[in-house]
């Protein structure tokens, strides 16, 4: 039942001997596989943007840059991270529901490719800061709802984008003040049906074609994505072949219109990075309380953040390094001093012993950045990178205990 999902081709206990736990191991081969897989699924005439929010790790950003991806950033922090890593500004798009003054001025100063605008206020803020030619895409919140995504961001009432019927009036109102030359849509994250992603893409193409006369020059279409990653053995993943064929057919049928559009973007975070990392933890204690068994690990809510909500439901995230003959119901917890630090509730779990290793898989996206790692004075785990030869290097030191209760006071 608890198969090793992460087969890096190297010896995890050996790595742990050197770097100790809790430890995040990134697998470059896995990351490369995902980049190739997604790039070869999307139409050749489109470009892929990496959503930095999934994981801003500089090593990941550098690898994606080498693969020729562009970058979608959603804050001044993410913008500075990619600028610092020498990502060409012509491959950076700035999004986010409302951009800070700092983000706007840094985006302008660095001549990034484009701003994805999400409200009239957002647009006005950019207009009042801009004294130069820049590219603006308007994010549409469509009227139709594609109910299948797990994290809906469009087709519903939300803080994201501009309701479909307000998009054209907004463009008319401001098109003499600023160069609005793109449209963007991000309907949600975790779509598992290829048809839904194809429908979203098709909607944006149709909308753009219908309203093309509203733009002096329509240069950008950003279709978003939301490419789903299966998170348990019971869940079937996104059918990439179906997606590839569907998108290719769609692009072919709209070729005449799309050929005139310079940039045709898709965005992805999770699909690219989720499977590339595993969190290795040690069993610190095994105890029984009022008839229930507890396995306490040296990782928990402080490293897994909101992923814990998924983990409780989806046991296949978790695996072990060794094979075990015996299983019994157990509650897996972290070691922080809060009753909400539950990693997995009463499923059968291998009869591990104190000191054994437990692996939390798929932690390459929305884990490190969505975790309160200093909670309770705990620290961030060390991170190592396994390159394509299996060579291991330390890429991030373990957090310091001295600053774990905050610094700068
Ligand atoms: C605007 C935007 N683009 C891209 C993404 C990345 O989504 P995913 O990680 O599902 O690919 C998100 C996620 O919230 C987003 O809000």
Ligand 1 mutation pick, 152, 183, 189, 190, max ligand atoms within 8 A of CB: 189
Residue 409 lies in a domain: no
Residue 248 lies in a domain: yes
Kindly give, in sequence order, each residue whose CB lies less than 8 Å from that of residue 56, ignoring residues fewer than 6 positions away. 77, 78, 81, 369
Structure tokens at 152: 């809906």
| 191 DSSP assignment | B
- CB of 267 closer than 6 A to ligand 1? yes
Lowest mean pLDDT among 15-19, 87-91, 189-193, 233-237: 233-237
Domain shared by 186 and 39, yes or no: yes
Distance in angstroms (rounded) separating the CA atoms of residues 36 and 41: 8
Domain shared by 136 and 167, yes or no: yes
Looking at residue 149, what is its pLDDT? 63
Domain shared by 305 and 258, yes or no: no
More confident residue, 188 or 97: 97
Domain shared by 359 and 241, yes or no: no
Among residues 273, 293, 315, the one where a domain terminates is 273
Domain shared by 116 and 189, yes or no: yes
- CB of 272 closer than 6 A to ligand 1? no
Among residues 257, 273, 289, the one where a domain terminates is 273
On average, the pLDDT of the chain sits at 91
Percent of the chain predicted with pLDDT > 70: 93
Residue 7 lies in a domain: no
Distance 127 CA to ligand 1 centre (A): 25
Residue 116 lies in a domain: yes
**Mean pLDDT for the stretch of residues 362-382:** 91
Distance in angstroms (rounded) separating the CA atoms of residues 321 and 76: 40
Could you please report the per-residue DSSP string of 364-409?
SSSSGGG--TTGGG--PPEEEEE-TT--EEEEEPPPPGGGTT-S--
Among residues 273, 303, 318, the one where a domain terminates is 273
Q: Which pTM does this prediction carry?
A: 0.94
- CB of 273 closer than 6 A to ligand 1? no
Domain shared by 21 and 109, yes or no: no
Looking at residue 2, what is its pLDDT? 37
Q: Measuring CA to CA, how many Å separate 137 from each of 43, 117, 171?
A: 21, 6, 10
Residue 314 lies in a domain: yes
Distance in angstroms (rounded) separating the CA atoms of residues 393 and 267: 29
Ligand 1 mutation pick, 224, 243, 366, max ligand atoms within 8 A of CB: 224
Domain shared by 265 and 291, yes or no: no
Residue 224 lies in a domain: yes
Distance 74 CA to ligand 1 centre (A): 10
Looking at residue 331, what is its pLDDT? 93
309 alpha-carbon distance from chain centroid: 17
Kindly give, in sequence order, each residue whose CB lies less than 8 Å from that of residue 31, ignoring residues fewer than 6 positions away. 60, 63, 272, 273, 276, 364
Domain shared by 155 and 227, yes or no: yes
**Which pLDDT band, with edges at 50, 70 and 90, does 7 fall under?**
low
Structure tokens at 244: 């590839």
Looking at residue 214, what is its pLDDT? 96
Domain shared by 246 and 314, yes or no: no
Give me the CATH number covering residue 185.
3.20.20.10
Domain shared by 365 and 378, yes or no: yes
CA-closest candidate to residue 335, choices 370, 286, 300, 308: 300
Task: Return the ligand 1 atom nearest residue 270 CA.
Answer: 9
Q: What is the pLDDT of residues 103-158, one digit of tens each?
A: 999 999 999 999 999 999 999 999 999 877 789 999 999 988 776 666 676 777 88
Looking at residue 231, what is its pLDDT? 75
Q: For the chain, how many structural domains are there in total?
A: 2
Question: Dihedrals φ, ψ of 313, to 5°?
Answer: -90, -30
Looking at residue 109, what is its pLDDT? 95
Number of H helices, E strands in the chain: 13, 20
Looking at residue 150, what is its pLDDT? 65
Residue 408 lies in a domain: no
Lowest mean pLDDT among 55-64, 148-157, 287-296: 148-157
The listed range with the strongest mean pLDDT (187-196, 275-284, 381-390) is 275-284
Domain shared by 214 and 241, yes or no: yes
- CB of 271 closer than 6 A to ligand 1? yes
- CB of 319 closer than 6 A to ligand 1? no
The C-alpha angle with vertex 199 and arms to 206 and 251, in degrees rounded to 5, equals: 60
Using DSSP bridges, classify how beta strands 327-333 and 342-350 pair: parallel, antiparallel or unpaired: antiparallel
Kindly give, in sequence order, each residue whose CB lies less than 8 Å from that of residue 251, ignoring residues fewer than 6 positions away. 43, 45, 46, 258
Instruction: Say if residue 323's pLDDT is above 70.
Output: yes
Measured by CA distance, the residue closest to atom 15 of ligand 1 is 186
Does residue 12 contact residue 392 with C-beta atoms inside 8 Å? no
Question: Dihedrals φ, ψ of 82, to 5°?
Answer: -75, -35
Domain shared by 249 and 304, yes or no: no
Give me the CATH number covering residue 395.
2.40.37.10
Distance in angstroms (rounded) separating the CA atoms of residues 277 and 395: 13
- CB burial readout 172-194, b (16+ within 10 A) else e: eebeeebbbbbbbbbbbbbbbbb
CA-closest candidate to residue 27, choices 51, 11, 8, 1: 8
Q: What is the CA radius of gyration of the chain?
A: 23
Structure tokens at 176: 């003499």
- CB of 72 closer than 6 A to ligand 1? yes
Instruction: Say if residue 297's pLDDT is above 90.
Output: yes
Q: What is the pLDDT of residues 216-246, one digit of tens each?
A: 999 999 999 999 998 766 677 899 999 999 9
Residue 95 lies in a domain: yes
Distance in angstroms (rounded) separating the CA atoms of residues 87 and 99: 20
**Which pLDDT band, with edges at 50, 70 and 90, does 4 fall under?**
very low
Looking at residue 3, what is its pLDDT? 39
Domain with 167 in it: 28-273
């Amino acid at each position: 039942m608890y198969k090793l999902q992460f087969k890096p081709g190297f010896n995890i206990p050996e790595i742990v001997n050197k770097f100790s736990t809790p430890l995040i191991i990134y697998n470059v081969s896995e990351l490369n596989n995902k980049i190739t897989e997604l790039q070869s699924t999307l139409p050749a005439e489109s470009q892929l943007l990496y959503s930095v929010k999934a994981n801003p790790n500089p090593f990941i950003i550098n690898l994606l840059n080498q693969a020729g991806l562009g970058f979608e950033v959603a804050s001044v922090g993410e913008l500075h991270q990619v600028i610092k890593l020498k990502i060409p500004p012509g491959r950076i798009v700035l999004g986010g529901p409302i951009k800070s003054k700092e983000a706007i001025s840094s985006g302008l100063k660095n001549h990034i490719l484009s701003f994805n605008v999400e409200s009239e206020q957002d647009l006005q803020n950019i207009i009042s800061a801009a004294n130069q030619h820049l590219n603006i895409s308007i994010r549409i919140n469509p009227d139709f709802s594609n109910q299948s995504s797990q994290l809906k961001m469009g087709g519903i009432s939300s803080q994201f984008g501009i309701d479909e019927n307000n998009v054209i009036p907004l463009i008319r109102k401001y098109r003499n003040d600023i160069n609005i030359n793109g449209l963007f849509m991000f309907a949600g994250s975790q779509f598992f049906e290829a048809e839904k992603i194809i429908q979203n893409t098709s909607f944006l193409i149709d909308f753009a074609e219908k309203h093309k006369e509203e733009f002096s020059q329509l240069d950008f279409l950003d279709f978003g994505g939301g490419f789903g990653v299966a998170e348990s053995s019971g869940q079937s993943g996104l059918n990439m072949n179906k997606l590839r064929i569907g998108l290719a057919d769609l692009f072919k049928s709209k070729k005449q219109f799309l050929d005139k559009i310079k940039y045709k973007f898709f965005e992805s975070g999770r699909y690219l990075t989720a499977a590339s990392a595993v969190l290795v933890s040690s069993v610190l204690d095994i105890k029984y309380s009022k008839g229930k068994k507890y396995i306490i690990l040296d990782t928990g809510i402080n490293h897994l953040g909101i992923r814990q909500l998924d983990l409780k439901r989806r046991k296949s995230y978790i695996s072990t390094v060794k094979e075990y003959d015996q299983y019994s119901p157990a509650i897996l917890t972290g070691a922080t001093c809060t009753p909400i630090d539950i990693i997995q509730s009463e499923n059968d779990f291998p009869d591990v012993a104190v000191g054994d290793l437990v692996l939390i898989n798929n932690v390459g996206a929305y884990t490190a950045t969505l975790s309160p790692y200093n909670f309770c004075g705990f620290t961030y785990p060390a991170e190592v990178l396994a390159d394509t030869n299996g060579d291991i290097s330390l890429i991030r030191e373990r957090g310091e205990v001295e600053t774990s209760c905050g610094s700068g006071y």
